[in-house]
Amino acid sequence: MSSVDQNQPTADEIRDMTPEEAMIVGAELDGIRIAHRRERFPIRGTKAEKRAERGVAASFLIAALAGVAFIVCFIIVPFHWHLPGTPQNFKYFTPLLGGTLAAMLIFFGAGLVLWAKWLMPEEEAVQDRHDEPSSEEDQLLTEAALAQGFEDTGLGRRPMLRNSLLLAGGALATVPLVALVGGMIKKPGNKLFHTFFDPKWAPEGQKYVPIVYEDFRRVSPDDFEPGGLATVFPGVRQEVDGKNGVTDASSPTLIIRLRPGQKIEARKGQAAWGWPAENPQFVAYSKICTHAGCPASLYEQQTTRLLCPCHQSQFEVLKDAKPVFGPASRSLPKLPIHVEVGEDGRQYFVATSDYHEAIGPAFWERP
Ligand code: FES
């Protein structure tokens, strides 16, 4: 029999010990040497202890308040806010959510660290690991160690700490709930189904929205070499919520000129959406990747594939931008285009309608 076995107390002896004594005996039998152990406040209820306790509780309370602020921000702060009298468009929604969430996590973590540093006994232990199965005595000793660990936290005799911890923990637990339930309450509605290509934004006296470059110059078929492409936008200068046709996130669109002999295999009902309608040589697709919204604009003329650099989705242009590789599962939306003759006698592209499906990544309200 080993010396450890000889020194091992019986189950009855262990039951007679205080949890702390049993925890120390158990630790030593298990090859753990308690090198140093000292109560921070050997006399309970001193002013210093109360002060430390209030400090920890204050940290948890701030975490709880930050949690409430997070929920309030989620509900009442608009997605973006235009400062009256200035052209600036401030977007506080995401920074506020991030800031309040960060404050909640920081103060919750700080509370836990301070609790361990200020209130729980100081302890240094050196542990040897072993692979043996545990005996009944070992299990009892482990139980005692856990009980002593709980006792050390002071949770049982410090209601202020316990309640503030519960408050902060509750606030933390609401975060995923806010994201899940709140997303169902604060919905984008049909906003994502409309862009500035909608003919209702056409300039006065015109039927369709002109297609323009970033600087509002109109886009002409003559600008393209065979196999060429350009990023284009709806030519709407009017500002709505601080955005116009060029700056709105849903606008970027690619016009691609096919090479001679290339032919589009169009999706059902979309064969005439390119130009010329009877045998399209120009097609326009949303530039916003249907996987996670990156700009998909790396065009390989040889393979006729559009590549998204973010996660390597590839879209086959000759198959109406159908995804053929990578995580994207939906074709890039196609924009119906046509040309009209401008005042200078040149042909210019227009969008004959809005996109017929939502731009960008999938979301659960998509029909
Ligand atoms: S955003 Fe394009 S592949 Fe992920």
Q: List the alpha helices (DSSP H) in the chain.
A: 3-7, 11-16, 19-29, 47-76, 93-114, 136-153, 159-185
The predicted pLDDT at position 1 comes to 39
pLDDT tens, N- to C-terminus, the chain (367 residues):
344 456 678 888 888 988 888 888 888 887 788 888 888 888 888 999 999 999 999 999 999 999 999 988 888 877 665 666 655 556 677 788 899 999 999 999 999 999 999 999 888 888 766 677 778 888 888 889 888 888 888 888 888 888 898 988 888 888 778 777 776 776 666 777 889 999 999 998 899 999 999 999 999 999 999 999 999 999 999 988 778 999 988 899 999 999 999 999 999 999 999 999 999 999 999 999 999 999 998 999 889 999 999 999 999 999 999 999 999 989 999 999 999 999 899 999 999 999 998 888 876 555 5
Cα–Cα distance for residue pair 358/77, rounded to 1 Å? 25
Mutate to test the pocket of ligand 1, among 305, 311, 332, 363 (most ligand atoms within 8 A of CB): 311
Cα–Cα distance for residue pair 54/111, rounded to 1 Å? 10
Ligand 1 atom nearest to CA at 308: 2
What single-letter DSSP state applies at residue 17? S
Q: Give the residue extent of every domain in the chain.
A: 3-185, 191-351
The predicted pLDDT at position 231 comes to 96
Q: Which residues contact 362 (CB under 8 A, 6 or more apart)?
A: 290, 329, 330
Ligand 1 atom nearest to CA at 293: 1
Kindly list the protein residues whose Cβ atom lies closer than 6 A to any atom of ligand 1.
289, 291-294, 296, 308, 310-311, 313, 326-328
The predicted pLDDT at position 221 comes to 96
Domain 191-351's class? Answer: mainly beta
> Taking each helix axis from N to C terminus, what angle separates 93-114 and 47-76, rounded to the nearest 10 degrees?
160
The predicted pLDDT at position 175 comes to 79
Residue 97 CA, ligand 1 centroid: distance in Å: 25
